[in-house]
Structures are given as C-alpha cells and as structure tokens.
Amino acid sequence: MGRCSLESAEMLNLENSVDGTLDLLSRPDVLTCTPWKAPIMWEGMFDPDRYDQVHKKQGSSVALTVFAIGRYLDAYLETFLNSSEHHFMLGVPVTYYVFTDMPEKVPNIKLGAERSLEIIKVERHSRWQDISMMRMKTISDFIDSDIRHRCTHVFCFDVDQVFTGRFGTEALGDLVGLLHAYYFRAPRKFFTYDGNPKSKAYMETGDFYYHAAIFGGSWKSVKALTETCYKNILEDKKNNVEALWHDESHLNKYFWVHKPSRILSPEYCWDPDIRYGRDIRISRLIWAPKHYDTLRTN
Ligand code: 5GW
Ligand code: MN
C-alpha cells in the first residue's frame, strides 16, 4: 500500500465538514485516501468525539440490517446484537432490523436509550447462495417501505461477526465500502472478481477488493446499490449464470462503477486468523468462527 497522494485533508472530497480534520499523513504505513479522493478510515486518522458531535447535531440516525436465517440465528445473533450494543454507533439513534424465518426465536436484548429493534419475518430460500444474494432484494424493499422514513443512514451486516471496539459515526458517509481483510495487502491480480463475461458481475480489473459482510451509506445510496445488485443477480439467473462470489461479486462490480465516498479499513472487519501486522492497530469487529460443517448442510 502506498501513501496518500494528497498533502492534507482539505483536498479530499469532503462529505462532511469534520472530514477536513482527518489526518491523512498520520498513517504512512497504509493508504488513507483513494485516487478519487475518498478517505479510507484507519485508527489514528480521526477524532471520534468530533464525529459524534457533528452527527448528533446533524440528526443522523442509523438502521442496521442483519439476517439470521435457520441455524445462523442460534449460532450468532445474540452475540452479534449484545456486542453491537457496546460498540456500534453509540453517539446516534440506532434501529436494528432483524430479518429471520423464526421471529419467535429472536433473543430478548436489553437495548440502550434511543435504540430499538424490529423483527421482520422472511421466507427461507433453500439454496444458501440464494439466502445470501436475496438479502439485496429484501433490504431494497424495506428501505422503501420503512427505513427511509425513519433513518438517515443504513448499514448492512453479516451476522457471523462480533463487535470488539468502537464502530462509530466516523463510518457514516453517502456510500461506504469495506476493504476485505484477506486482500488489502495483496496486489490487484489476486483479487477474485467475477471472470465470466456472461455474468453482470464480470469485471477485468478494479480499485480494491471489497467485502460484502458490511456495506452502507445514506438510505438513498444503499437503496440504489441493493436494487441494482438484485436486478443484476436476477438477470444472471435468467441467463443461467451465477457470479463467482455471489452477492459479493455484484457488490464489487457496483463499487467499480459507483465509487464509494468513504472506505473502511479492515480494522472494521478483521479475521483474527490472519497475521495482524502493525497496520491493524485495533480490531473493531471480528469474524466469528465458521462452523460450515454443521451450519451449511443444505
Ligand atoms: C447458510 C449456509 C451457507 C451460507 C450461508 C448460510 C446462511 C447465511 C444461513 O443459513 N442463514 C443466514 O442467515 N445467512 C446470512 O447470510 C447471515 O447473515 C450470514 O452472515 C450471511 C452471509 O452468509 P455467510 O456469513 O455464511 O457468508 P460468508 O461469506 O461470511 O462465508
Ligand atoms: Mn459472514
């Protein structure tokens, strides 16, 4: 990873006045801005309290969407939500949207002030690839019918993860992507984009390899992202193709065409099995252990 080519934060595309206070040179070990002048958020670059103050004043509010279908509910949901109560967007109002096929099994979580939880029943798709991909349609529909009336921003999460540090308002932006922990140190030729020209997710090259376990932004931008990805997934189905990494391939294509306005470093979604290195100064969220043998039986 090279240095940011910008001398100071004022040359960034500022989404928010407080972005002008980012210290892009405080992390010479990693890339802190993209060629299109969006910040890449690393520990040490920002003042968390300043971000909280500004977002409180602006009246930002966040929807967190998460799916817990079948065995993933018992395996992960309670730990995910409890840890989120300690670390996710503590400065602003949060609404959890839990999508599940078993509403009665959602655990009772003690929520902080200005935090609430909605449970939405969804059908269970029999193929796991469809469980993952069809999240795009469900989120898109729900932003239209509910979220856009109640929240300024939306963040979409995999459930098989645990918050371990601040995941705060510094992550809020118009269109937000996450650098995949396995690829951020790798050269572009190793990125596993979809390589089949018949798929709508096909791309020859890209900027970064983004991880589909977390994406977010303003409700409008997340609506556009999820709707487009869903339409492209459907088009692929019509043509009898499936992208290499399913929804993640479509997300990567979307971010190639529509550049994120803000990017989260892998500190925001780290796999503790990877060698840490000095570049990872904090893990704000970690991958939970995967039990594919018992969880992926369909
Ligand atoms: C089940 C088997 C194989 C793959 C996914 C599932 C599955 C996913 C499921 O049975 N129930 C479920 O709720 N999911 C949701 O989709 C979870 O929110 C999960 O975090 C997300 C993506 O699936 P993952 O986490 O297994 O995918 P990877 O890319 O993290 O391995
Ligand atoms: Mn996952």
For 14-60, what is each residue's pLDDT tens digit? 999 999 999 999 999 999 999 999 999 999 999 999 999 999 999 99
Report the predicted TM-score, pTM, of the whole model to 2 decimal places.
0.96
* Mean pLDDT, residues 270-293: 90
Q: Report the C-alpha gap between 215 and 202 in whole angstroms.
A: 20
Mutate to test the pocket of ligand 1, among 105, 120, 128, 180 (most ligand atoms within 8 A of CB): 128
Copy the structure tokens of residue 19: 């972005």
Catalytic residues: 248
Ligand 1 neighbour 76 (Cβ under 6 A): no
How far away, in angstroms, is 8 Cα from ligand 2 center? 36
**In this predicted structure, what is the pLDDT of residue 266?**
98
Residue 296: pLDDT band with limits 50, 70, 90: low
CB neighbour class for 190 (10 Å; exposed up to 12, middle 13-18, buried from 19): exposed
How far away, in angstroms, is 225 Cα from ligand 1 center? 20
How far away, in angstroms, is 159 Cα from ligand 2 center? 6
> At residue 85, does pLDDT exceed 80?
yes
**In this predicted structure, what is the pLDDT of residue 227?**
97
Q: Which domains does the chain have, with CATH numbers?
A: 6-295 (3.90.550.10)
Copy the structure tokens of residue 68: 């817990």
Q: Answer yes or no: are the C-beta atoms of 108 and 117 closer than 8 Å.
A: no
Q: Answer yes or no: are the C-beta atoms of 30 and 279 closer than 8 Å.
A: yes
**In this predicted structure, what is the pLDDT of residue 294?**
67
Ligand 1 neighbour 67 (Cβ under 6 A): yes
DSSP 169: G
> At residue 65, does pLDDT exceed 60?
yes
* Mean pLDDT, residues 208-236: 97
Which ligand approaches the C-alpha of residue 246 most closely? 1
Residue 67: pLDDT band with limits 50, 70, 90: very high
Give me the helix-helix angle, 219-238 and 247-257, nearest 10°: 120
Residue 11: pLDDT band with limits 50, 70, 90: confident
Closest atom of ligand 1 to 158 CA is 20
pLDDT tens digits, 94-121: 999 999 999 999 999 999 999 999 999 9
